[in-house]
């Protein structure tokens, strides 16, 4: 069941989104050669807890024991932080959630560490732009399918793969709510977008085949062919005046 949010609730989510955005920006600066992914996780938790009323949304969620999901190179989402040392040329996905005054936000970025290939840079830029294009479709009168169709067509036109096994989602008092927001689909299909919906749009893009396997850590997901991947995500409110990014 889709749960609509009041303007007051959306404002609370936006306040949590500001904390999340600031935390991700700080983590992005920290993501350099020599840092371990567990150090990034500890920093994320400390930064969130420094804000009164804010807590990590992911820690303890469905048994996940950390604050931050860190996925490197072929690993695309839900990666466990570890003693892995970030290296020059890595693509590091940082996926983070904040619980603030009873409401969750969720956002993700991909960080290019040091010198990366032209195609890796293009993968990141295409994924980021596909998110922007998807957000533009998140308006009253459109459907979930309009978002996914726009994301899919742009990504595939650029020669990259769109992950099918995972998708975006609604968000609010829990991290994952209805509806599911696939990154592929047909125009004017799926649930209509109405005022008060709060959703997470999160393109997950691969340089090679789009099919996934379980990561070596046994929790996250990686590309089956070990090709590079990228991931960006924002929490979005559907309003009368158009889509409102709550985690920017």
Residue 149 lies in a domain: yes
Domain that holds residue 230: 7-245
Would you say residue 72 lies in a domain? yes
State the total domains in the chain: 1
| pLDDT tens, N- to C-terminus, the chain (248 residues) | 999 999 999 999 999 999 999 999 999 999 999 999 999 999 999 999 999 999 999 999 999 999 999 999 999 999 999 999 999 999 999 999 999 999 999 999 999 999 999 999 999 999 999 999 999 999 999 999 999 999 999 999 999 999 999 999 999 999 999 999 999 999 999 999 999 999 999 999 999 999 999 998 888 999 999 999 999 999 999 999 999 999 99
- Please tell me the predicted confidence (pLDDT) of residue 218: 87
Instruction: Say which CATH number the domain at 146 has.
Output: 3.90.230.10
Q: Is residue 1 situated within a structural domain? A: no
Closest CA to 48 of 100, 124, 103, 5: 100
Torsion of CA 15, 194, 133, 215, to 10 degrees: 70
Closest CA to 199 of 150, 233, 240: 233
């Amino acid at each position: 069941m889709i749960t609509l949010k009041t303007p007051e609730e959306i404002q609370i989510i936006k306040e949590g989104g500001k904390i999340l955005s600031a935390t991700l920006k700080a983590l992005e600066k920290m993501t350099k050669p020599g840092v371990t992914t567990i150090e990034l996780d500890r920093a994320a938790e400390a930064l969130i807890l420094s804000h009164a009323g804010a807590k990590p949304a992911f820690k303890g969620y469905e048994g996940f024991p950390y604050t931050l999901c860190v996925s490197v190179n072929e690993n695309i989402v839900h990666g466990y932080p570890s003693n892995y040392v970030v290296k020059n040329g890595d693509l590091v996905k940082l996926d983070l959630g904040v619980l603030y005054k009873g409401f969750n936000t969720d956002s993700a970025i991909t960080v290019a560490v040091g010198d990366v290939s032209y195609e890796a840079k293009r993968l990141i830029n295409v994924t980021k732009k596909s998110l922007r294009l998807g957000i533009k479709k998140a308006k009253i009168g459109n459907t979930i399918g309009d978002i996914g169709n726009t994301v899919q067509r742009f990504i595939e036109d650029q020669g990259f793969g769109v992950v099918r096994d995972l998708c975006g989602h609604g968000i609010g008092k829990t991290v994952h709510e209805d509806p599911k927001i696939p990154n592929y689909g047909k125009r004017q299909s799926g649930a209509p977008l109405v005022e008060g919906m709060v959703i997470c749009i999160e393109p997950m893009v691969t340089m090679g085949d789009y099919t996934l396997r379980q990561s070596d850590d046994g929790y996250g997901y990686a590309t089956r062919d070990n090709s590079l991947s990228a991931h960006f995500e924002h929490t979005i409110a559907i309003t009368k005046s158009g889509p409102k990014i709550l985690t920017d």
